[in-house]
DNA sequence: CGTATTTGACCCGCGC
DNA sequence: GCGCGGGTCAAATACG
């Protein structure tokens, strides 16, 4: 019963890959394919072109089967095995084309905001709406990290925390601090591997990353210069190494044992540094994700990008 | 003093 | 209908 990978009722797609063992992580790289969408992409950093979330809506049409789809059909029935064997094949399995491991995003996010407001109102005072609350697509990232809250370029405010059933680790709820942005994210630790942080994003940013925009300038000058912003919250830039697993509530799950790319705008706190240092060990440059985005290319040394 | 976090209470959806 | 669990609110508190 304590299925660590319960088929989340609302996951449209997700991969189940046991991964207690991180063995082979270093090998598990993204050859620019396999679809590792960058974390930032997934966050929809506008500065770099269409947000990934947007892309996600389109990609499926372009890529008959997103990696996730392909995998899911296969993996879903696979018991979560604590090893990466299947994962490796997965990554390599990519014939090098299913880069956009994305898949259909069912909900349209047109009036995302309005909906959010409705939701809020509904919460405050019951408003009868014939349509039931719509959920925005969610994207989960699994990052091996010692810190729960990883830097992702945006600023978040924690608005709640709940104990998770069958898990000793609480789940934290964050909301983008930008007024007009209703993006939310949940952070929780993997039950199967406490060192893995599962970050689930919901919604799409309607603004450029506050950190990124600044990083744009900074990074251009000094890719790794410290980026001490006023952000008090930690953030991170996980670079998804595809493999996914079941993350509660995620429509899509990206497993990422890498970590915040050394974008240089990591928080300056010791904790972050420590985390980064730790994470680096598992860091695998998300080349795929870097590919078309100028800034990232600027930030991440090409050698690193190709290295995998 | 302004902002972020904590935390208990409340609401809602869903399964039984 | 009821209970449970997830998600959110908002007052209290902490922090810089």
Nucleotide nearest to A123 (CA to C1'): B11
- Collapsing DSSP to helix, strand or coil, A60 comes out as helix
User: How far: A10 CA to B15 C1' (Å)?
Assistant: 14
Report pTM: 0.56
Check residue A25 and give its pLDDT: 33
Q: Which nucleotides of C are covered by protein (CB under 7 A)?
A: 4-10, 16
CB-hemisphere CA count at 13 Å for A301?
8
User: How far: A11 CA to B13 C1' (Å)?
Assistant: 16
The continuous run of DSSP H or E covering A188 comes out as: strand A184-189
Check residue A173 and give its pLDDT: 92
The region that residue A35 occupies, defined by phi over 0 for left and psi between -120 and 50 for alpha, beta otherwise, is: left
User: How far: A21 CA to B13 C1' (Å)?
Assistant: 36
- CA A198 from centre of chain: 8
Q: Where are the alpha helices (DSSP H) in A176-249?
A: 210-221
Check residue A79 and give its pLDDT: 34
**Closest residue to C5 measured CA to C1′:** A165
Please work out, in degrees rounded to the nearest 5, the angle formed at the alpha carbon of residue A18 by the alpha carbons of A17 and A21. Answer: 130
Closest among A165, A151, A155 to A197, alpha carbons compared: A151
- Asked if strand B contacts A280 at the CB level, meaning under 7 A, the answer is no
**Closest residue to B14 measured CA to C1′:** A9
- Asked if strand B contacts A155 at the CB level, meaning under 7 A, the answer is yes
The continuous run of DSSP H or E covering A256 comes out as: strand A252-256
Closest among A191, A152, A173 to A42, alpha carbons compared: A152
> Which parts of chain A sit beneath pLDDT 50?
1-38, 45-131, 215, 217-247, 258-308
Q: How far apart are CA A302 and CA A294, in angstroms?
A: 11
- Collapsing DSSP to helix, strand or coil, A248 comes out as coil
- Collapsing DSSP to helix, strand or coil, A69 comes out as helix
Q: Which residues contact A102 (CB under 8 A, 6 or more apart)?
A: A35, A37, A52, A55, A56, A59, A60, A63, A66, A67, A68, A252
- Asked if strand B contacts A158 at the CB level, meaning under 7 A, the answer is yes
User: How far: A299 CA to C2 C1' (Å)?
Assistant: 55
Check residue A159 and give its pLDDT: 92
* Lateral strand order in the sheet of A196-202: A156-163, A170-176, A184-189, A196-202, A138-144, A252-256
Please work out, in degrees rounded to the nearest 5, the angle formed at the alpha carbon of residue A248 by the alpha carbons of A25 and A231. Answer: 75
**Closest residue to B12 measured CA to C1′:** A123
* Alpha carbon separation from A133 to A41, A67, A118, A160, A167 (Å, rounded): 26, 29, 9, 20, 27
The region that residue A32 occupies, defined by phi over 0 for left and psi between -120 and 50 for alpha, beta otherwise, is: left
Instruction: Give the pLDDT confidence of A214-226 residue by residue, as tens digits.
Output: 545 444 443 333 3
Check residue A152 and give its pLDDT: 74
Closest among A76, A8, A86, A42 to A254, alpha carbons compared: A42
Residue owning tokens 């090098």: A96
A 8-67: CB within 7 Å of strand B: 9
Closest among A139, A146, A151 to A169, alpha carbons compared: A146
Check residue A211 and give its pLDDT: 59
């Amino acid at each position: 019963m304590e299925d660590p990978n319960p088929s989340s009722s609302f996951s449209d797609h997700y991969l189940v890959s046991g991964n207690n063992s991180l063995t082979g992580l270093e090998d598990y790289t993204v050859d620019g394919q396999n679809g590792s969408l960058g974390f930032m992409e997934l966050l929809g950093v506008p500065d770099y072109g269409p947000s990934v979330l947007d892309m996600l809506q389109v990609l499926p049409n372009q890529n008959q089967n997103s990696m996730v789809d392909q995998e899911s059909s296969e993996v879903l029935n696979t018991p979560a095995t604590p090893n990466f064997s299947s994962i490796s094949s997965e990554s390599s399995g990519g014939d090098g084309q299913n880069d956009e491991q994305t898949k259909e995003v069912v909900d349209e996010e047109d009036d995302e905001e309005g909906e959010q407001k409705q939701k809020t109102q509904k919460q405050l005072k019951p408003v009868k709406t014939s349509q039931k609350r719509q959920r925005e697509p969610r994207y989960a990232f699994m990052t091996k990290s010692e810190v729960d809250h990883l830097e992702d370029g945006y600023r978040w405010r924690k608005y709640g925390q709940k104990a998770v059933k069958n898990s000793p680790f609480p789940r934290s709820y964050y909301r983008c601090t930008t007024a007009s942005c209703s993006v939310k994210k949940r952070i929780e630790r993997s039950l199967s591997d406490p060192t893995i942080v599962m970050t689930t994003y919901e919604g799409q940013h309607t603004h450029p990353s506050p950190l990124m925009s600044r990083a744009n300038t900074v990074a251009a000058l000094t890719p790794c210069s410290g980026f001490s912003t006023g952000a008090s919250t930690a953030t991170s830039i996980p670079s998804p190494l595809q493999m996914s697993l079941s993350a509660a509530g995620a429509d899509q799950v990206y497993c990422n044992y890498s970590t915040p790319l050394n974008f240089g705008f990591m928080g300056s706190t010791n904790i972050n540094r420590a985390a980064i240092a730790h994470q680096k060990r598992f860091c695998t440059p998300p080349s795929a994700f870097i590919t078309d985005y100028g800034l990232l290319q600027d930030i991440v040394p090409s050698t690193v990008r190709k290295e995998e």
